[in-house]
Amino acid sequence: MSVRKSDDFIADVERQVEWYAVNAGWNVAERYLAAVEATCRLLGQHPQLGPRGGFAHPRLRNWRWFVVFRPFKKHVLFYETLGDDVVLRRAMHGHRDLPGRLLDRAGTD
């Protein structure tokens, strides 16, 4: 399957990379980005790997989630399959109010 990244997903990842660059250095930021990319490739090969989120909202009902590879396992990627595509929708820290935050536009706090 091909992997597509939504604008919100890209914004979420860019924001996290910037946070790591400022707070932990570019080495950690680059490792985070590499872990996200590796996780995306795995989901493209095995799209049913992540469980459904179990969200009630109709837009989120078919979304699945999967944890980013170590050492960033507190970060979660949300995606759905559409035809032959895996569409990455959001990338968030798992300790957030996820059902409420998933519908917000990226970058709104």
84-107 confidence digits (pLDDT tens): 999 999 999 876 556 566 666 665
Q: Please state the pTM of the whole predicted model.
A: 0.87
Give me the pLDDT at residue 96, please.
58
φ/ψ bin of 104: left (φ > 0), alpha (ψ from -120 to 50), beta (otherwise): beta
What 3-state DSSP class applies to 106? Answer: coil
Residue 25 lies in a domain: yes
Residue 55 lies in a domain: yes
Residue 109 lies in a domain: no
Q: Tokens 């009630």 belong to which residue?
A: 56
Give me the domain span that covers residue 49: 2-101
Number of domains present in the structure of the chain:
1
Residue 42 lies in a domain: yes
Q: Do 78 and 89 meet the contact criterion of CB atoms below 8 Å apart?
A: yes
DSSP tag of 61 = T
Give me the pLDDT at residue 98, please.
60
Nearest to 65 by CA among 86, 81, 80, 50: 50
Residue pLDDT, tens place only, 58-86:
888 899 999 999 899 899 999 999 999 99
Residue 45 lies in a domain: yes
CATH code for the domain of 97: 3.30.2310.20
Residue pLDDT, tens place only, 17-70:
999 999 999 999 999 999 999 999 999 999 999 999 888 888 888 999 999 998
What 3-state DSSP class applies to 82? Answer: strand
Residue 108 lies in a domain: no
DSSP tag of 57 = S
